[in-house]
Structure 1
Amino acid sequence: MTRWIPRLVALDVDGTLLDPATRRIAPEVRDAVRRAADAGSRVVVATGRSALGALPVAEELQLSSGYLLCSNGAVVVDAATGEIESAETFDPAPVVADLAERLPGARFAAERIGAGNLVTAEFSAELLHGPQLVVPHADLVVEPVPRLIADWSGRAPAELTERMAGVELPGSTCTLDHYEPWVTVVGAGITKASALEKLRTGFGIAPQDTFAAGDGDNDLPMLRWAAHGVAMGQAPAVVRAAADEVVAPVTADGAAAALDRWFR
Structure 2
Amino acid sequence: MPDATWKPRLIALDVDGTLLDPDTQTISAAVRTSVRRAVDAGAEVIVATGRSMLGALPVLADLGLTRGVALCSNGAVVLDAATGEAVSVETFEPAPVVAELARRVPGSILAVERLGEGNLVTAPFGPDELHGPQHVGTIEDVTAGPVPRLVANWVGHEPAEVVAAMRGAVLPGATFTLDHYEPWVTVVPQDVTKGAALEKLRAELGVPAAETFAAGDGDNDVQMLEWAAHGVAMGQGPAVVHAAADEVTAPVAEDGLATALDRWFR
TM-score, length-scaled by structure 1: 0.98
For 1:180-195, list aligned pairs within 5 A.
180-195=182-197
RMSD: 1.0
| Alignment partner of 1:216 is 2:247 | no
Deviation of 1:101 (Å): 2.0
Query: Any stretches of 5+ residues in structure 2 without a counterpart?
Result: none
- The equivalent of 2:124 in structure 1 is 122
- Give the residue type in structure 2 aligned to 1:261: R
1:68 to 70, 87, 92: 70
1:35 to 34, 37, 45: 37
TM-score, length-scaled by structure 2: 0.98
Deviation of 1:125 (Å): 2.6
- The equivalent of 1:164 in structure 2 is 166
Contact 2:71/2:194 (8 A) holds in 1: yes
Q: Distance in 2 between matches of 1:197 and 1:185?
A: 20
Matched length: 264
SS in 2 for 1:54: helix
- Give the residue type in structure 2 aligned to 1:171: G
| Identity of matched residues, % | 65
2:11 to 9, 22, 37: 9
Query: Any stretches of 5+ residues in structure 1 without a counterpart?
Result: none
- The equivalent of 2:241 in structure 1 is 239
Deviation of 1:2 (Å): 8.3
1:17-68 CA-to-partner distances (Å, cap 9, x unmatched) read 0011110100100110011111100000000000000000000000121211
- The equivalent of 2:252 in structure 1 is 250
SS in 1 for 2:264: helix
1:49 to 42, 48, 51: 51
- The equivalent of 1:103 in structure 2 is 105
Q: Distance in 1 between matches of 2:4 and 2:28?
A: 31
Deviation of 1:168 (Å): 1.1
Q: Distance in 2 between matches of 1:53 and 1:195?
A: 18
Stretches of 4+ moved more than 3 A in 1? none
1:20 to 19, 22, 25: 22
- The equivalent of 2:61 in structure 1 is 59
Q: Distance in 2 between matches of 1:164 and 1:48?
A: 19
